[in-house]
């Protein structure tokens, strides 16, 4: 595929959600199965977490104000967690944030591609962009097949690409299917002085209507650190070779393919296999009772 993604297999996502529940609820008793060694669980327990309310840093690039029900990890811990979940890290990870009850989570990556000009803000062709993504997905499926992973089919837009000139945020959501299950990739790109913050929301498709407003509220507390803001660009700073359209279609990735440097094109961040959420809610409910 020609846009930046990860893949979360069902069993690893279930472990992810279960581990979130254990971290957020220290008094919750563990079963013998939960005590058994597992790289995902161990990665979560080894990570250093910032608990809200607090200001979480995303390396030295940006900051996010965490509400009380949120937790955040830094870039190194995020990469270890991604690796444990069999998600080869990109090296661009700067943070991971999730809700206390594991309703959804967000991965932050900073791509220092340079200053992206927003000249295309009034000319985003959703139909052409979707067709490009579909073509890229077919190429990516060949790599997924080599790794024994199920193919992905793009079915349309959940939300067409939209650029907010006030916040410098580019947002879109893609509908897809894998193994007969509906998936939604909800993406945000925040333009900065020296590059773009890639923000990907993972949520159960059925919970997206609730998750998206909460996610947007979280991003209201996001800010690039001083010296990294879009308006602080000065003559002589690096200019990106891509525009807004390419941020959605992965135009930069297409260039990388030609140079043989596109190892991550086959990855997809899918909101699949989050049946563990229902289990966690029942678990919290029993604990409360």
What is the residue-wise DSSP string for 93-147?
A: EEEEEEETT-SEEEEEEEE---BPP-GGGG---HHHHHHHHHHHHHHHHHHHHHT
Q: Of 269 and 161, which is predicted with more confidence?
A: 161
In a domain? residue 165: yes
Q: In this structure, what token pair is assigned to residue 276?
A: 């563990």
Which residues span the domain enclosing 185? 10-288
Residue 252 has pLDDT above 50, yes or no: no
Query: Is residue 4 in some structural domain?
Result: no
Coil, strand, or helix at residue 1?
Answer: coil
Q: Is residue 202 part of a domain?
A: yes
Average pLDDT over residues 172-195: 88
User: Is residue 24 one of the residues assigned to a domain?
Assistant: yes
Distances (CA, A) of 149 to 32, 102, 261, 268: 30, 25, 21, 11
pLDDT tens across 86-122, in order? 666 788 999 999 887 777 888 999 999 999 999 999 8
Exposed/middle/buried for 27, CB within 10 Å: 0-12, 13-18, 19+?
A: exposed
How many structural domains compose the chain?
1
């Amino acid at each position: 595929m020609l846009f930046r993604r990860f893949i979360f297999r069902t069993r690893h996502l279930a472990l992810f959600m279960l581990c979130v529940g254990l971290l957020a609820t220290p008094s919750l008793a563990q079963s013998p199965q939960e005590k058994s060694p597992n790289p995902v669980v161990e990665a979560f327990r080894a990570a250093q977490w910032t608990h809200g309310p607090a200001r979480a840093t995303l390396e030295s690039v940006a900051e996010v104000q965490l509400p009380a029900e949120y937790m955040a990890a830094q870039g190194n811990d995020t990469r270890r967690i991604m690796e444990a979940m069999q998600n080869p890290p990109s090296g661009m990870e700067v943070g991971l944030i999730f809700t206390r009850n594991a309703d959804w989570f967000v991965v932050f990556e900073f791509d220092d591609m340079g200053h992206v000009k927003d000249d295309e803000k009034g000319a985003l062709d959703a139909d052409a962009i979707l067709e490009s993504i579909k073509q890229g997905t077919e190429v990516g499926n060949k790599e997924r097949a080599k790794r024994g992973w199920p193919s992905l089919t793009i079915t349309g837009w959940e939300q067409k690409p939209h650029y907010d000139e006030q916040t410098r945020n580019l947002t879109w959501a893609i509908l897809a299917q894998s193994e007969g299950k509906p998936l939604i990739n909800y993406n945000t790109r925040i333009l900065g002085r020296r590059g773009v913050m890639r923000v990907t929301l993972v949520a159960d498709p059925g919970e997206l209507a609730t998750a998206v407003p909460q996610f947007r509220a979280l991003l209201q507390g996001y800010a690039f650190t001083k010296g990294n803001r879009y308006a602080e660009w000065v003559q002589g700073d690096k200019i990106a070779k891509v525009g807004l359209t390419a941020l959605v279609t992965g135009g930069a990735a297409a260039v990388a393919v030609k140079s043989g440097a596109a190892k991550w094109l086959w990855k997809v961040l899918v909101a699949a296999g989050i049946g563990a959420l229902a289990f966690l809610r029942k678990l919290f409910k029993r604990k409360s009772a």
